[in-house]
Structure 1
Amino acid sequence: MQVIGLCRFSYPAVGGFQVEHETIEDRRRYLYDPARLDERFRLFETTTLPCFKEQTDQDYQFLIVIGECLPKPALDRLHDLTAGIKQVQIIAREPARHRRVMKQILNDARTDAAKPCLQFRHDDDDAVSVDFVERLRLAAKDGKGLMERSKTVAIDYNQGFLARFGAGGIQAAQVFRPLLGVGFAIHVRGGCEQTIMNFAHHRIGNFMPVISYPDAPMWVRTLNQFNDSPHARNSTTQLSALTPEQQGEFIARFAIDHDAVRRVHSVE
């Protein structure tokens, strides 16, 4: 079964952000601010890329959507970081309505629209477990009957970590967050043109069945100064420095290396 991931990397969409801007020019200035882009790249390098490089099931696509106006130094840096990751496809688009352009990209990526597929969205500052793709396929087997009867079915892994990354390393707290949007996917039946971008993740249970798995931490959501969600930017969750055991867990489950985080976030 085809597995498609979608990651928006500073794409200047019309809509699609909780941080509001009056014009596309204002949005570009915000997204392409050097301090913001530098933080996004540091997080992308230490969270998103390691976990997708190390997936136990390598049969998936990872679509990274950027603006055609992304500054060349940033574009070059993105190509350098993703070089050699065969699943990555960088897709450049002009500014457009967020959900419309993302839905089109996902449907264009389907190799056979008559067959079912699994779709997930992923923020450029988060991580999923290295067995995420493998477990999505297992979930499709678990819910086979339900998925055959429903146009779409959501799959939600609701255990994970909130974390801050910096020059001092990682601070984190294990939490339960249903329908957070990370470690989350949908099964789309063959012949259905709906996508994961048709729905607000936190309300998706209003529109389709949801299969939830609370058995293991499956994601890391970073808290940083440029989080689009005000709940993340202003989070009061108490975080603690990782213990040596947790540092090992972060490597084993998410391919996140504590020393690499310190090194990347220490570079001036």
Structure 2
Amino acid sequence: MKKLVVANWKMNPATKEEARELAGKIELAITAVRRGEVDTVICPPHPFLGVLQHLLHFTHLGAQNIAEELKGPFTGEVSALQVRSFGGEYAIIGHSERRALGEGDETISNKVATAVRSGLHPIICVGAGTKRGQSEAAVAKVVAKQLRAALRSAGKAQVTVAYEPVWAISRGFGTGKAVTASHAAKIIGQLRRFAPWARFIYGGSVDGKNAPAFAKETLIQGALVGGASLDAGEFLRVIKAFSKD
């Protein structure tokens, strides 16, 4: 299974022109990477999916969120089918910043099932509710519960699971300090027991400096990159770490 490095731009950048410029820089940078080793995904804000659809050639396109339903009277929601119609192939589901807005295990499970049914590859985030200083056993218990719930209606569909402890996220709810690679590998090792068919990646303040340490851990098969993905050079360093360049 190939490694996967995902850019979660969150609510950035401010304009479609900036989005086009950043995506173009990433595309140009990726030409220097052995792409046979790693897949890359850009998840921009929904309004920019159409902007990037015909711009990306070496990078896959994804969404930061999808609705539980495929269509209907759901003001402000974006469906998996709409994402697909713009060339989207991936969808981040269950990010801690979504959970903070009230999305629970049942909602996330429904979204995973909807993504699979619609042909999107789910990137399932687990790690909300964990706390710095908790024992690895306590953390593993929390994230295993989240993963089991997320997969409840998805069977053994191909999914990617991102272990992203909320306190390690670079902005918003976290400290901006990544966990150690060994900690991430141990938690992912516990999660693999529940979904051995899945691909597991790490997220939480990943950047070009710490990515090589995560890439050395064989259980960590990629990264979900937040703030560092807004700098093409920094994002390239993360990709190179996982592509063995």
Same fold (TM over 0.5): no
Q: TM-score, normalised by structure 1?
A: 0.28
- The answer to which structure has the higher strand fraction is 1
Give the greater-gyration-radius structure (CA). 1
Q: TM-score, normalised by structure 2?
A: 0.30
The structure with higher relative contact order (CA 8 Å, sep 6+) is 1
